Amino acid sequence: MKFGIQTPVLSLVPGGHAPWEVDGTIDDVRQIAQAADRLGFDYLTCSEHMAIPEEGMDLPGPRYWDPLSTFGYLAAHTSRIALTTSVLVLGYHHPLEIAKRFGTLDRICDGRLIMGVGAGYLEKEFELLGAPFADRGPRADDAIRAIRASFGRRTPAYDGPFYRFEGIVVDPCALQAPAPIWIGGRSVRSLRRAVELADGWCPFATSPRRAAAWLAQARATDAWEARDRPLEVVLAHRDPLDPSARPDATAAVVAELREAGVTAVSLRFVHRSLAHYVEQLEAMAALMAGLGH
């Protein structure tokens, strides 16, 4: 089983962050990333939203650091941990923009990029950016195919229902061809998209029981049978974990997730400060050896 962290400070969701994160700095994030890198965690995350409407901000929340800028900095201060967008909203970008900008990032981090992507759901944000909303699902499917045709290729070509290009050069291109793609969302459709087009599924606000039921349905489909590689199933537990004070409870949560078919856990911790967060990483790392890591 893999273990990653939902990186603190980089996003603030009402009721989902610790008070100290409000004034957290990039140096705090650097220290967390370096500790996670040193302790053997597999990946860290950064989410994406461009402009959150002032009204109705209960979801998704007001703060989102830009993944490209953030990961470019963290890449220079880490050596092995994967950098994971969780998630990049496909409708806000042309596939060639992703191929160039994230391809450059993949070179900067020496092939450590995991591209978590999603169709998006915040209609007002789509409107603000002038991005089509009604057909975002099929557009996302086409964008994923276009990214697969482009990432890591200097002269990409693609011909789909929404995106078409040929006779072009994208240089530099990514080291990976393509980077692993994980699909976010919180619906059966997101799982179908992952099974058909991607390397992993990383839903949010999805319980282990629901994920297990959806996975059981997916395993009975022709699309699952047609896969030539295992599907990474990435899930976070609803409540923050406390491995330093409650190691047995933490181990029980991981066991529950494993039983549900989860292969990678995106960890959230109880934490009161930067120092406490690093202590939780150290406690979790001690547990990980016995949890199949």
What's residue 178's pLDDT?
Answer: 83
Give the three-state DSSP class for 276: helix
For the segment 43-61, what is each residue's pLDDT rounded down to a tens digit? 999 999 998 877 755 556 6
- The pLDDT confidence band at residue 144, using thresholds 50, 70 and 90, is very high
What's residue 292's pLDDT?
Answer: 72
pLDDT above 90 as % of the chain: 89
Count of structural domains within the chain: 1
Task: Look at residue 123 and tell me if it is in a domain.
Answer: yes
What's residue 293's pLDDT?
Answer: 79
What's residue 59's pLDDT?
Answer: 56
Q: How far, CA to CA in Å, does 217 sit from each of 153, 188, 208, 261? A: 35, 9, 14, 13
Mean pLDDT computed over 19-38: 97
Q: What is the DSSP letter of 90?
A: G
Mean pLDDT computed over 255-262: 95
Task: Look at residue 239 and tell me if it is in a domain.
Answer: yes
- The pLDDT confidence band at residue 70, using thresholds 50, 70 and 90, is very high
For the segment 78-133, what is each residue's pLDDT rounded down to a tens digit? 999 999 999 999 999 999 999 999 999 999 999 999 999 999 999 999 999 999 99
Task: Look at residue 208 and tell me if it is in a domain.
Answer: yes
- The pLDDT confidence band at residue 290, using thresholds 50, 70 and 90, is confident
CA nearest 10: which of 58, 52, 76, 61? 61
In the structure, how many helices (H) and strands (E) does the chain have? 10, 12
Mean pLDDT computed over 266-292: 95
Burial of 258 (0-12, 13-18, 19+ CB in 10 A): middle
Give the three-state DSSP class for 30: helix
Domain encompassing residue 92: 2-288
Mean pLDDT computed over 235-257: 95
Cα 283 vs. chain centroid, distance in angstroms? 23
Residue type, 239: D
Q: Does 15 have pLDDT greater than 80?
A: no
293 versus 260: the higher-pLDDT residue is 260
Task: Look at residue 293 and tell me if it is in a domain.
Answer: no
Mean pLDDT computed over 202-231: 95
What's residue 61's pLDDT?
Answer: 67
The DSSP bridge partners found for residue 164 are: 159
The DSSP bridge partners found for residue 185 are: 203
Task: Look at residue 65 and tell me if it is in a domain.
Answer: yes
CATH number at residue 56: 3.20.20.30
Q: Does 174 have pLDDT greater than 70?
A: yes
CA distance 292 to 264: 11
Cα atoms in the Cβ-side hemisphere of radius 13 Å centred on 147: 31
What's residue 88's pLDDT?
Answer: 97
What's residue 60's pLDDT?
Answer: 60
Task: Look at residue 222 and tell me if it is in a domain.
Answer: yes
Task: Look at residue 23 and tell me if it is in a domain.
Answer: yes
